[in-house]
Amino acid sequence: MQEPILKRPAVLLGSASSGGTIAAVRHLAGYGIGANVIVDHRFCPAGWSRHVGRRYVGPVESDSMRYLDRLLAIGKSDPGQVLLPTSDELVWLYSSNAPLLARYFRLYQPPIETIRRILDKALLEQAATSAGVAVLPSWDPQNLDELAEWAPHLPYPVLIKPRTHVHRLRNDKGVVVHSAEELIAEYPRFLARERYRFDETPREPGSVRPVIQKFVEIGREGVVSISGFIGRSADVFVTRRSTKILQRSRPVGVGVCYESRPADPALSQAVHRLCRELDYFGLFEVEFILHDGAWAIIDFNPRLFNQIGLDLRRGLPLPLLAYLDALGEAEALRSLAAEAQDENPAEKVVFCDNFTLHAILLAQTLCMRARLGDLAHWRSWARQNRAHMVHFASDPSDPMPGIVHVLSELYLGFRAAPRFVRTMLPSSPLVARGL
């Protein structure tokens, strides 16, 4: 337990099923800072933490207008809370409705134009190029005729990638295609699937239209994440590096296991340049993949992220840094950031959604898609790293979130079973060692 800070306003967090939310709740509690959460169903791990102050019932985040109404009602009844974003959906909601929310909350959001350039993948690539950060080759056909003209000349395989995850019905990362014929057939189907659950929700023009990006097989170096914080004053900047070594699905998917890595000053400097180009401040996780000898950016998460507990264990107090900056506590912020610069490069820490890891291995075994070597590798990896493993939700001192997370995963697993079985058919790629 850390020395508590004098009592200050509470933090309000959404995305109560996210690993980043439960980690932030516990972290802030260690400093005597109250954390309240909005839950949209009973199986939200953060909502069951003993460290949570108040639990507000609300709609799903993708129902933006109802969620905004609920936020305003919470703000009127309990004003002065600090809003920290926990998902792309909430980043956009908070930024696009900043004048309304500022009546009742302490906001900590960059301007809407900055957020638009981050959450739109095509605009993010333009910003990265301006900042001198490598990007993967990509194309943005404006219509099907332009797609048909380009298709024969693209370097396959390519990824049909959502332009943004805001307001999406689906949570997939995209579809890989291997030929012009497959692209021309799959692109209209992908476009048709990019529909919205709530027709009255405001959305960006062209946001349904996906982008096409060169698909790069992930090697043993994995997907590298540079996570950290940049303050309103850009000289407050601190990072950590990690590698995603296992994801839920192939060929692209949400991370299940991560390993810490020593600092890479060049990559950290690249992220700093990009943040300055974007006029961004706050928490971030920026993902890179190795392509043609350079680390190319593939994503920028301007918010809390699932494996934030990995950075907390390594001495980087990200939620507290954002909280102090939101309150304008410049001296305390600089002091804390300076302390966080000291990192032990020899320290090994891993992050694991342990239940999901073993569920994936079991499912692959039942579908006869697992290789004995892969099963042995991951079981050995879990045993060897048990002493320095950060879990998605489980914690002996706060056990209920871990139990609820297992129940939630079981429920979602039963619902997704038919689709998972289809991905395990012989024509589908294996989830092999490394990724």
Q: Which domain holds residue 150?
A: 137-214
User: Is 408 contained in some domain?
Assistant: no
Q: How many domains does the chain fold into?
A: 2
User: Which CATH number covers residue 75?
Assistant: 3.40.50.20
Q: How far is residue 363 CA from its own chain's centroid?
A: 25
pLDDT at 219: 72
The DSSP line for 397-435 is TS-HHHHHHHHHHHHHHHHHHHHHHHHTSTTSPP--TT-
How do residues 113-131 score in pLDDT, each as one tens digit? 999 999 999 999 999 999 9
Which of 110, 145, 175 marks a domain boundary?
110
Collapsing DSSP to helix, strand or coil, 133 comes out as: coil
* Residue carrying structure tokens 């990362």: 173
Which of 151, 179, 214 marks a domain boundary?
214
User: Is 118 contained in some domain?
Assistant: no
Do 103 and 153 share a domain, yes or no? no
Query: What does the chain come to in residues?
Result: 435
Q: Contact at 8 Å (CB) between 349 and 313?
A: yes
Do 15 and 102 share a domain, yes or no? yes
Do 100 and 150 share a domain, yes or no? no
User: Is 300 contained in some domain?
Assistant: no
Do 91 and 159 share a domain, yes or no? no
Do 25 and 101 share a domain, yes or no? yes
Token readout for 357 is 């890891």
Label residue 259 by pLDDT band (50, 70, 90).
Answer: very high
Do 18 and 103 share a domain, yes or no? yes
Do 60 and 147 share a domain, yes or no? no
Residue 208 has pLDDT above 90, yes or no: no
User: Is 165 contained in some domain?
Assistant: yes
User: Is 409 contained in some domain?
Assistant: no
Give the phi and the psi of residue 96 in degrees, each rounded to 5.
Answer: -75, -15
User: Is 44 contained in some domain?
Assistant: yes
User: Is 78 contained in some domain?
Assistant: yes
Do 20 and 100 share a domain, yes or no? yes
Do 23 and 103 share a domain, yes or no? yes
Do 98 and 147 share a domain, yes or no? no
User: Is 81 contained in some domain?
Assistant: yes
pLDDT at 171: 63
pLDDT at 256: 93
Residue 26 has pLDDT above 60, yes or no: yes
Token readout for 368 is 């006869």
pLDDT at 5: 47
Q: Which pTM was predicted? A: 0.89
User: Which CATH number covers residue 144?
Assistant: 3.30.1490
